[in-house]
Chain A
Amino acid sequence: MQQYDLVIIGGGPAGLAAAISAKDSGIDNILILERDDSLGGILNQCIHNGFGLHTFKEELTGPEYAQKFIDMVEEKRITYKLKTMVLSLTKDKIITAVNGEDGILEIKAKAVILAMGCRERPRGAINIPGSRCAGIYTAGAAQKFVNIDGYMPGKEVVILGSGDIGLIMARRMTLEGAKVKAVVEVMPYSGGLKRNIVQCLDDFCIPLKLSHTVIDVKGKDRVEGVVIAMVDENRRPIEGTEEYITCDTLLLSVGLVPENELSRNAEISLSPVTGGPMVNESMQTNMEGVFACGNVLHVHDLVDYVTLESYNAGINAAKYIKGKEFKENKIEIMAVEGVRYTVPKYVNPENIDKSIDVRFRVGDVYKDKYISVYFDENREIHSKKRVLAPGEMETVKLTKAMFEKYDGCKTITIKVEGE
């Protein structure tokens, strides 16, 4: 059996950043396991710009952002294996993986970082009725066809879901000569960033149909069209509002789910809200020495935050390898009244140097409301927000001083308040 101090599962933005910070924290014996044929993860197919505004103060494309981290991994001589699929992780931190060169690999690690990312919800997850014909893809699969393989998956396109990948693909397909007939969104607001609505849809006069959904797919061998309808406040189609749109392709951009089969089988506690591991301030899961970061934890809209979170995971994994124990989770963070979840979920103030960033999402669109943070019964933060939306991740900073002020605090509560 091979032995490593730190094994990182996944070589995307999270895994790369975690590897770099662990190395900088003095850990030399690191292995990254990546199932694709190159490092960089999803960034390789995200060829549009807008990445790294926070980290590098410039607007990079996905591959450029990834390349900066890949170069650092190479410079620091961090080892990695490509085309290597991890099959299992045990409680003793034994990893079983497989690739075409080594066959089955068994690796014992002192610490493990989970950085497997997320995957797209497919058609089956949203139960669209209709024909099971060719021409229905997730937006990310279409993005890979166009941007990595150089194939166009269709000519006349309807996109269901207005998440960022759907919006980006509406523009990309248009630029490559396809006609995008509509982006259909079941919610009364888009799940994507404002700038993507303007630059991907408005720029090309692509209609965004809010409060609409696809209720039927027509076609035998290939998609020939879809029926869309308006929905009521309970997201049920309203009779009489049906509209038929001819198209040969339906792209689905209907959400992302953290990919946690490995974590589940290793009996790592997962959040019922995010589907990702419930971690503490040090990014450690309920299994000692197993850390998590990036989209495997909760789905991010900005890669910059993935990078920051992953640096934190790498630093703490290094501390663990050198003998630090993170001890019990003294405080639980409760997400209530409009706040859906928080990362981290638990805090032990002893492990905080200066401050921690708590990230979360709200469940609805709110205007002129406050984000409040309570240490037990005491409101410590009360900050006004002009707009809160499910598509934009929020952050609150909790400082060492706050934890000292409320020494012995058992619960931190974060909520949306009127005033």
Chain B
Amino acid sequence: MKKELTCIGCPIGCSLEVDLEDNNVIKVTGNVCKRGADYAVKECTNPTRIVTSSVVVENGEIDVVPVKTENDIPKDKIFDVVNELRNVKVKAPINVGDIIVENICGTSVNIIATRKVESSL
């Protein structure tokens, strides 16, 4: 099987073609440097992303607090994570780095706050 990707390692943005066999990368072509090959292998075998979103705040000076996954999570879990966050409410005050949800969607990655929110009370 062949898969086409755009490398994000630098502004050149090489168009990569990856030969796959049973989810194993056999060959990467189109890259001008090693980073392209590394990126292709990672994207084809274990693509991950940091997910950023926001959750509702109660009693805060602002109504939503931005959050992120503390580490990257599998790409196919992105929607599970944001859908779960839609039901989360937190109470101010909140500090940068506070854990908002532990082990989100069984990824063993925490959701942490990325902004300080003072209480409005």
Binding site for B on A (CB under 8 A): 44, 47-49, 59-61, 63-64, 67, 146-150, 175-176, 193-195, 197-199, 202-203, 386-387, 389, 392
Contact = CB atoms under 8 A, between A and B. Distances in A.
Contacts of A150: 54, 56, 63-64
**Chain A contact surface mostly:** helix
Contact of A194 (B11, B50, B63, B64): B11
A175 B81 CA distance: 10
A49, A60, A199 pick with most chain B CB within 10 angstroms: A49
Interface string B1-45: 000011110111100000000000000000010000000000000
Given A147-B54, A194-B7, A387-B12, 16 more contacts: A48-B52, A49-B50, A49-B52, A60-B114, A61-B52, A61-B68, A61-B114, A147-B66, A175-B78, A176-B53, A176-B82, A194-B6, A195-B8, A199-B49, A203-B49, A392-B11
A44 B117 CA distance: 12
A49 B68 contact: yes
Nearest to B83: A177
26 contacts: A47-B54, A47-B115, A49-B50, A59-B50, A60-B114, A61-B68, A63-B66, A63-B96, A63-B114, A64-B115, A147-B64, A149-B64, A150-B54, A175-B53, A175-B78, A175-B79, A175-B82, A176-B82, A194-B6, A194-B8, A194-B10, A194-B13, A199-B8, A203-B78, A386-B12, A386-B32
Interface residues of B, number: 29
Contacts of B82: 175-176
B98 to A, nearest CB: 12
A146 B52 CA distance: 13
B38 to A, nearest CB: 15
B66 A387 contact: no
B91 interface: no
Nearest to B64: A150
B116 interface: yes
B88 interface: no
A67 B53 contact: no
A386 B14 CA distance: 11
Contacts of A63: 66, 96, 114-115
B120 to A, nearest CB: 12
Contact of B66 (A47, A175, A197, A198): A47
Contact of B116 (A67, A203, A386): A67
Top 4 A-B pairs, shortest CB-CB distance = A47-B66, A63-B115, A195-B8, A194-B13
Nearest to A149: B63
A146 B116 contact: no
A47 B114 CA distance: 8
B84 to A, nearest CB: 12
A47 B112 CA distance: 12
A111 to B, nearest CB: 30
Contact of B6 (A147, A176, A197): A197
A1 to B, nearest CB: 32
Given A47-B54, A197-B6, A64 B11 contact: no
Nearest to B118: A38
Nearest to B56: A150
A199 B64 CA distance: 24
B32 to A, nearest CB: 7
Nearest to A388: B11
A59 B64 CA distance: 22
Interface string B45-64: 00001111110100000111
A302 to B, nearest CB: 12
A392 B56 CA distance: 35
A231 B114 CA distance: 42
Contacts of B96: 63-64, 67
Contacts of A146: 54
Contacts of B78: 175, 203
Contacts of B8: 194-195, 198-199
Contact of A389 (B11, B63, B116): B11
A180 to B, nearest CB: 14
Contacts of B54: 47, 146-147, 150
Contacts of B51: 175
A195 B7 CA distance: 8
Nearest to A61: B114
